[in-house]
Amino acid sequence: MQQDMIQGKAVTIQEVFTARQYRLDSYQRDYTWGREDIRRLIDDLRTKFMTNWSLEHDREDVARYSPYFLGPYVYHDDAHITFLVDGQQRITTLHLMLIYLRELLLAQDLEGEAAHLSSLIQSRKFGKPVYTLDIPDRGPFLEQVFSAQDYALPDNAPGDLRRLWEGARVLQEEFPDELRGDALPYFVDWLLDGVCMVGIRAATSEQGWEIYESMNDRGVRLGPIDLLKSFLLSKIGGEKGGIDKLWRQMVSDLAGIDVNAPAEFIKTFLISRYADVSMEPGDKPTDVERINGPFHAWVKDNVERLDLQRASDFRGLVEDLAKYSERFRTLAAATKAYDRELQSVFFNAYNGIKSQAAPILAAVEPKDDSASFKTKAQLIADYLDLLFARRVVNDLPSSGLDSYAARLVERVRGGVSTDKLRTILADEVSALDYDFKNMKAYGLRSNNSSQVRYLLARLTGFVQTGCGQSDDMAAYLDTSRPFEIEHIWANHFERYQPETNTRAMFDAYRNRLGALLLLRKSDNASYQDLPYERKVEYYQRQNQLAGSLHTAHRDRNPTFNKFARQYKLDRLLRAFAKFDKKAIDDRQALYQRLCELIWNPAVFGTAPVSATRRTDPSRTRTRARYDVSVADLIDKGLLLVNAELIGQRRGERFQARVLVDGQIQVASGETFRSLSGAGEFVLQTKACPGWNFWQTQVDGRLVRLIDIRREALEKGLV
């Protein structure tokens, strides 16, 4: 009898992946997680970890970090095989994450830690290597990913494999910068020993099915939506049938978009209408943090702020929720399918900007018709899109957009007219202290292919539609990647060695934005290795931006010539018989000008005369771990402006210098706001512990910047 009992046990991620060979039971669904699910998991892990980590910590300090519970999984054993009954979505995603983290550890020469992850990713069973998640159809894909090679997704790939491929791409493109630097080994330690699940072991396959049924079909515990509904309806006197029906219809309509949409809408509504968005993260949870958790409890604790006094007030809140849910559904639909009327809503969703709905709902007035609502939505989405593009080319994290969205909620809450909204947005843009002027050396790096692809898509689309061609933005940004980044310079250093001298300089120029195009994947693969003089003949048959490189492109092309004249681009939008370093610089200038035209703040009108520059809210440091930056060391005279930085690896020496604002400029001219970013670039790798990598001369000897920082902290200088 005892052996037939269901058993549950808390296990760390390390234990989940140790000495196991998982397969899926017959009734388990395929891998279904999409980009947003993986983004949410990464963000949850990052947020929890970063509230604990400090650069001054020793690795042993990780043992005292707060743990994180990732949920349950159900399994049963059959000989040496463990069959997953429930929980494969998280375990599959974690398996992909371990593979990617191993790649990052190898990039930092942490071979021992990488070898440990290898033992969790795969093991040997009966003399053969097997992956811990041993799903036969996934073998070739995992082999390529484990070997850090690009997997060529077949055109006829099944949905399960396609989503796995997309999941690996999300990790490659969107894994947080701060976790790829000095924090990386600490994060891996915490993930393995501080993140846990509850393993529920069934005695048999049949018992596993019973558990699966009960967890997914019956006896599901009440969530925040159900608890909020119960609370609100309990406060409404008299007949509740009508309001109950209204609530159920609202939830049903939202769930038709996405299973998470009902909860996401209620969170967004509460943040947009009632939350104190000015609260800074600290020891006490902010309104936004509480709403993003069990939001029903926040509503109960804030009935006065929501002005809920009488039964009619509670009824009115449900009616408001139902009314605004229709607006939210419109936005949600625009995030999934390209709609030219709300194109920036689609763009922001592609770029992972989750905060756009709150300021949009905050700006809406009850009297707004559909056209007014869409105008306001597009204006706010345009503003966030402009911020994203400017931040990308200035090496600023896109995660900082949340603070801008929060400030915008404060300024537009309660509803504003379209004219007033334009004035507010014009004021916000005029206060920015960064634009497109510093993108001279911007280009493709190890961690920004998604952003570069987006910029190229917008540049290509702008020229195409400006020349009267079809709007193909949905295809350019399709997650199945029918279009890919094309390097105009083939990866042959010997062809360009006379003018670039070093491999590092060649790589820097080859990856400049001006040396890149967006082409159909099939075409990109067929002639990417050819010399420019042969490639350009093919470019002529591609999109207008690619074709403009050909000397004959202006011949009998009136729409292109009209476009060039309309935007005064005759000098910049020119052809090149030879594509050398000077041509790349010229093309970079063209791309900069196109960015200025696409993200033109004139769409918001003229800013008030009183508009002044404000501190970038995303750069405000609110926790001790951010209190020491390169700029702080400069301010205290501990690091000189123009100081030479030296990095060394495997006998090779790299140089950079410190700029007056604390940015780091490498030898080829690129600038970075983080030491890790500069290190990744010169090493041409995906991860670098910047504070530990870079050194500078102090009293005639090389000293690591981490040691300068540590000494300054110990002496109380910073």
Give the pLDDT confidence of 236-253 residue by residue, as tens digits.
Answer: 877 777 899 999 999 999
Closest by Cα among 604, 600, 688, 590 to 647: 688
Q: How far apart (Å, rounded) are the C-alpha atoms in residues 209 and 25?
A: 9
Token match 């105008």: residue? 375
pTM of the full structure: 0.88
Per residue in 545-594, pLDDT tens? 999 999 999 999 999 999 999 999 999 999 999 999 999 999 999 999 99
Check whether 146 has a pLDDT greater than 90.
no
Q: Which residues of 448-487 are buried (b: 16+ CB within 10 A; e: fewer)?
A: bebbbbbbbbbbbbbbbbbbeeeebbeebbeeeeebbbbb
Give the distance between the most distant pair of CA atoms in the chain.
86
Average pLDDT for the chain = 89
Check whether 1 has a pLDDT greater than 50.
no
Average pLDDT estimate for 200-209: 80
Check whether 142 has a pLDDT greater than 60.
yes
What pLDDT does 210 receive? 74
Task: Give the pLDDT band of residue 193 (cuts 50, 70, 90).
Answer: very high
> Angle CA(403)–CA(405)–CA(408) in degrees, nearest 5?
110
CA atoms 459, 462, 464, 470: torsion sign: positive
Q: How far apart (Å, rounded) are the C-alpha atoms in residues 357 and 324?
A: 11
Token match 């000495």: residue? 19
Q: How far apart (Å, rounded) are the C-alpha atoms in residues 463 and 472?
A: 11
What pLDDT does 214 receive? 64
